[in-house]
Amino acid sequence: MWAVLNLFFLIGSFPINLVYIGIFIFVELAFVLVAASYFATADGKAAQGIALKKTGGVFAFIAGLLGYYTVGHLMCQTALFWSFPMGDTSRFFLKKDGVVRKEQ
């Protein structure tokens, strides 16, 4: 269930920046691999279940590192007046102008 919910967050992060996309991709992989580890263990494949769970943990750790990078970006932009590069992707998506037009 969390993997499905996170998939929507991943899709929503596309017009924001590359770091957010990376966070949600790695969290998605972590959720799927940990869920797969439980299925493998339930099928009696304990060694594969452990390997899948460890691999899921690695992806979760990478997502956490990207999260720390994002926090560093937010703190430096506010306190030090400079920011880390985040890889803006908004230029690849159409923007709504926000103007309501009346039919004539």
The residue extents of the domains of the chain are 18-92
pTM: 0.85
> pLDDT digits over 25-72, tens only?
999 999 999 999 999 999 999 999 999 999 999 999 999 999 999 999
Inform me whether the pLDDT recorded for 101 exceeds 90: no
Q: Which is nearest to 41 in space by CA: 32, 27, 51? A: 51
Give percent helix, percent strand, percent coil of the chain, each to the nearest 5: 70, 0, 25
